[in-house]
Amino acid sequence: DADVTQTPRNRITKTGKRIMLECSQTKGHDRMYWYRQDPGLGLRLIYYSFDVKDINKGEISDGYSVSRQAQAKFSLSLESAIPNQTALYFCATSDQDEQYFGPGTRLTVT
Amino acid sequence: GQQVMQIPQYQHVQEGEDFTTYCNSSTTLSNIQWYKQRPGGHPVFLIQLVKSGEVKKQKRLTFQFGEAKKNSSLHITATQTTDVGTYFCAEGSGGSNYKLTFGKGTLLTVNP
């Protein structure tokens, strides 16, 4: 959905490096989410936020942190990347129940 | 969190055949959503089911929510190559702390 953008789209980084994935939305939604997708494992929730002052851990938050800089921006950070964080990362937004996903960031940690 | 089990993991069909994917839970589901992810794409919302026994249709797609609200299914009639992708179910829960728990998905491939 062009209303939800993610940068970068692809990133290769080395073990131990800090990396930030960014998500922006123009839908005016309060709720934003970060997921990771691994083959055969579906989508797993990392963090979610219901407004700028509200941050919640998802089922796999270890090794990740987030920042909600504004209603429209929600960033995911890997403080010290490790190879098993290699995955496809999706940001999503919602105003009620339906979620709108960004195009994804493919991250490879070598 | 509550787990939703989705089967089968993979399904390959000939174009024109029907396809069904199932989502099961050991406990009562608040509601269920279905998403489709095309190869190389991102998940796209298809539908939400809330009521016990609910049935909704979108052209060739039929969605059902079980009477006990412990299972759901997505049925595609006469598949087409455009139906290729991974279909996910997801349970919505948490009340005001609303979030989705996704099944692992069913990858559908269609042989033309």
- Tens digits of residue pLDDT in B5-34: 999 999 999 999 999 999 999 999 999 999
Please determine, for residue B87, whether its predicted confidence score (pLDDT) is greater than 80. yes
- CB–CB contact B102 A42 (8 Å): yes
For residue A95, the model assigns a pLDDT of 86
Residue of A43, A44, A57, A90 for testing the chain B interface, max B β-carbons within 10 Å: A43
B1, B90, B105: residue with CB nearest A59 = B1
CA angle (B85 as vertex; B84, B91 as ends), nearest 5:
135
Rounded Cα gap, residues B104 and A40, in angstroms: 6
Neighbours of A13 (CB within 10 A): 16
Please determine, for residue A61, whether its predicted confidence score (pLDDT) is greater than 90. yes
Confidence of residue B97 (pLDDT cuts 50, 70, 90): low
Cβ pair B84, B110 in contact under 8 A: yes
Residue given tokens 């009639």 in the structure block: B77
Confidence of residue B96 (pLDDT cuts 50, 70, 90): low
Helices within chain A (DSSP H only): none
Cβ pair A34, B99 in contact under 8 A: no
Indicate the DSSP class of residue B96: G
Confidence of residue B98 (pLDDT cuts 50, 70, 90): confident
**Which neighbouring-strand residues pair with A92?**
A33, A101
